[in-house]
Chain A
Amino acid sequence: MAKKPSLRSHAEMEIDEINLTPIMSILVILIPMLVYAFNYNEIAVEEVSLPKTGGRGDGQGPRKLSLTVLLSEEGFRIKVQGESETGAPPPDKVVGKRMLAGCDGGAAINDFDFPGLYTELVKLRENRELGLEDTINVGAKDNIPWRILARTVDTVRLRREADSYQDLCEFRKAKLRKIKTKNGDGEETSVPQELFPKVVFIVL
């Protein structure tokens, strides 16, 4: 005989719980593996262009001087090239390697003088009479490693808080000078001030 509907609906059903322990065991192994493989370093990019071929040919605006930084085992050579309406460009400036103290109180090492390069470039940028282009050419000898070039690109592109630095450690820790600008949505944001924003790699 059929049960009354009220009794039927009260019948208790027993549901077996899924055994999650094997899945947990896999997860416990998998997650530390992925955490180990994950790269926690913050990545940024430095933009570099290829040299353009062909002459200016535009005839628009006054001619500007171009700046080139060449790297060799001896250090940096800063060249100002081109024709200027204010006279001949200044002579080449050599910023040689020198003994620079390490940041963590380590022994001084004979290293590329990035603070010296920065100080010279700021002087040239501030010299309004020269009217330098925003583009800077960077070239190096074949054996110069990328880490030196990366730091050179970093030095020539962005302006720090001070105009001059002597100490490498102080230069490394220096904050970037920020300027306020409006973004695409019209909101005010602060962005790093650029020294020579367009970097072009050249082959010697």
Chain B
Amino acid sequence: MTDRENGSAPGEDVIPAATMSEEEFAALRAAKRASKKRRKPGKEGVLNITSLMDAMTILLVFLLVSMVSDPLNVKQDEAMRMARASSEDKPASDTITIQISKEFIIVDHEKVADIECIIEGSKCTRKDMGALNDCEANPAGDICNKKIEFKISKQDKENANPNSLVIVPLKKVLDKQVKRQIEQLEMRENKKFEGVATLIVDKEIPFRLLTEVIYTAGRVGDPRKGGLAKFRFAVMKM
């Protein structure tokens, strides 16, 4: 038998394979393989991160596109917690988005009006808002039985009348948005304006404030070309 057939380097002391047991022979081969694999001194290994880079770049692009393109992707925090329902209707993309949080009214990412949150005569803190969010699960909480108001300041109301249902800055912004959307749809895409608004409402907002927003939105638009008439309320699926 040659050295090559024995699995040994030429010139090494060779124990004839016939005299070795099977275990000894396997151990010898494993030791030789390990010695071959041993790294040469002075040469450092380099980690190849190119494939990892590719995966992370795809992930980054996906996250950015999803966040920017979806107007209903609203961060849920103390001031904004959406209500839950079992509706299965999917949100449409070409609508005007009105967000009503505990602090502001926002139209398509533009802050339009401030909302005053008052608990028994004093202004709400973020902590109060957080505690208020828990009232659904625990109605016996301290804050849940207090008198809470969410209202628009009278300066932002029509004729500075606190009882008016029209929120002036909201009407101005919605008028602009509706006009722009009518132009976009009719001139460029040759479609009819459907007058749909999507409302993203914090779950603790009272019906009065909701009515004011809907009433204001209902008065927006051109009588010949239409205004906002359908309202879709965004909810989290149960």
Residues of A within 8 A of B (CB): 20-21, 23-24, 27-28, 30-31, 34-35, 37-39, 41-50, 71, 109-111, 140-147, 149-151, 153-154, 157-158, 172, 176, 191-192, 201, 203
Contacts and interface: CB of A to CB of B under 8 A. Distances in A.
Nearest to A103: B137
A38 B89 contact: no
A147 B80 CA distance: 12
Contacts of B89: 44-47
Interface residues of B, number: 55
A150 B204 contact: no
B236 A153 contact: no
A42 B84 CA distance: 10
Main secondary structure of the interface of B (DSSP, over half): mixed
A149 B207 contact: yes
Given A31-B60, A50-B214, A145-B204, A150 B88 contact: no
Contacts of B74: 39
Contacts of B56: 24, 27-28, 31
Contacts of B87: 44-46, 154, 157-158
A20 to B, nearest CB: 5
Interface of B: 49-50, 52-53, 56-57, 59-60, 63-64, 66-67, 72-76, 82-92, 136, 139-140, 198, 201-208, 210-211, 214-215, 218, 229-238
Contacts of A49: 229-231
A176 B82 CA distance: 21
Nearest to B47: A21
A24 B60 CA distance: 12
The 4 closest A-B pairs by CB, nearest first: A142-B208, A147-B203, A150-B83, A154-B85
A146 B140 contact: no
